[in-house]
């Protein structure tokens, strides 16, 4: 038995004159996936297919009308992207730049007013949600995210160039002063590990799960590290050190031990 398979190949018809100023083409002839397009720059341009229709006049600063049948929305543009209005199940947009813009679909929301004074973006899915509010692009930023599966959230607030404050999904907290690049490149580990120490005047970190915390002032001119069992402090870039443990305390001056007290020495007399 021999299986025979047939494939229908659509025809096409194309005409060009002074390309790209004028062209006309038809593709998918004889099939259900046909398309027609014609352009005479800068006067008009149109494209028609079962899924989408688009008509433009006086490109690129004129009027454009788009009908997205598969995505279920209709859109009008004027001097795109300055003026855009769209409505339908797949997309809703109202924009007149630089005065205002509002856009949303099933998963994303975007809005700004008096660009770049105020800007808002949000994304949500079945398991994750994120929203960010900004003033003057990176001058002020507030970013919040929620993991619905873990019932955990994180937040980062930036005020450029003064500080960055962050709480991650595990509850760890970090505060940094100054913050020159972090608001522009958020959550960039390379910047945080390699560049941030160059301009961090103050840094504080806290882990509520382990009880550990640390603070650093002026590139460790003063530094403090603490856990539930051990506390360490240093001054003048570790030239003066203090350490406290359950078994006792000790001091170091210019890295020379000065002695200390054991826990038994601090116990009250019977």
pLDDT in tens, 194-206: 899 999 999 999 9
Q: Is the dihedral of CA 58, 62, 68, 69 positive or negative?
A: negative
- Cα distance between residue 232 and residue 249, in whole Å: 10
Residue 20 resides in a domain? yes
Residue 196 lies in a domain: no
User: Is there a cis peptide before residue 76, judged by omega within 30 degrees of 0?
Assistant: no
> Does any domain span residue 244?
yes
Establish if 15 belongs to a structural domain. Answer: yes
Q: How far apart are CA 237 and CA 83, in angstroms?
A: 58
69 Cα distance to chain centroid: 31
Indicate the pTM of the whole model. Answer: 0.78
Task: Indicate whether 3 pLDDT > 70.
Answer: no
Owning domain of residue 267:
229-270
Which of 89, 119, 139 finishes a domain?
89
| C-alpha Rg value of the chain to the nearest Å | 32
> What does the alpha-carbon distance between residue 92 and residue 216 come to, in Å, rounded to a whole number?
48
What is the number of domains present in the chain? 2
Last residue of a domain, one of 62, 89, 116: 89
The answer as to whether 143 is a domain residue is no
Question: Is the separation of the CB atoms in 143 and 156 below 8 Å?
Answer: yes
Q: Evaluate if residue 82 carries a pLDDT over 90.
A: yes
- pLDDT reported for residue 5: 53
The region of weakest confidence among 38-47, 80-89, 180-189 is: 180-189
Chosen domain end from 39, 66, 89: 89
Q: Does residue 218 lie within any of the structural domains?
A: no
Residue 118 lies in a domain: no
193 inside domain: no
To the nearest whole number, what is the mean pLDDT of the chain?
90
- Candidate from 178-182, 191-195, 203-207 with smallest mean pLDDT: 191-195
The answer to whether 215 and 204 are in contact (CB under 8 A) is yes
């Amino acid at each position: 038995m021999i299986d025979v398979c047939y494939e229908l190949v659509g025809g096409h018809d194309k005409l060009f004159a002074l390309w790209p100023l004028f062209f006309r083409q038809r593709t998918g002839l004889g099939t259900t996936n046909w398309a027609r397009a014609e352009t005479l720059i800068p006067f008009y341009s149109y494209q028609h297919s079962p899924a989408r229709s688009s008509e433009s006049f006086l490109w690129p600063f004129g009027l454009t009308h788009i009908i997205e049948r598969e995505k279920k929305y209709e859109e009008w543009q004027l001097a795109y992207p300055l003026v855009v209005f769209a409505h339908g199940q797949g997309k809703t947009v109202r924009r007149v730049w630089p005065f205002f813009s509002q856009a949303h679909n099933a998963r994303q929301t975007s809005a700004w007013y008096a660009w770049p004074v105020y800007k808002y973006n949000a994304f949500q899915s079945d398991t994750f949600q994120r929203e960010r509010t900004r003033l003057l692009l990176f001058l002020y930023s507030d970013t919040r995210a929620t993991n619905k599966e873990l019932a955990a959230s994180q937040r980062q607030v930036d005020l450029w160039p003064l500080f960055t404050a962050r709480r991650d999904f595990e509850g760890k907290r970090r505060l940094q002063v100054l913050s020159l690049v972090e608001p522009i490149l958020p959550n960039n580990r390379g910047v945080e590990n390699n560049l941030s120490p160059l301009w961090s005047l103050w840094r504080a970190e806290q882990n509520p799960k382990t009880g550990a915390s640390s603070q650093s002032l002026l590139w460790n001119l003063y530094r403090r590290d603490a856990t539930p069992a051990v506390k360490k402090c240093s001054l003048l870039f570790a030239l003066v050190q203090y350490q406290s443990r359950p078994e006792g305390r000790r001091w170091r001056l210019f890295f020379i031990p000065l002695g200390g007290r054991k826990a038994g020495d601090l116990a009250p007399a019977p």
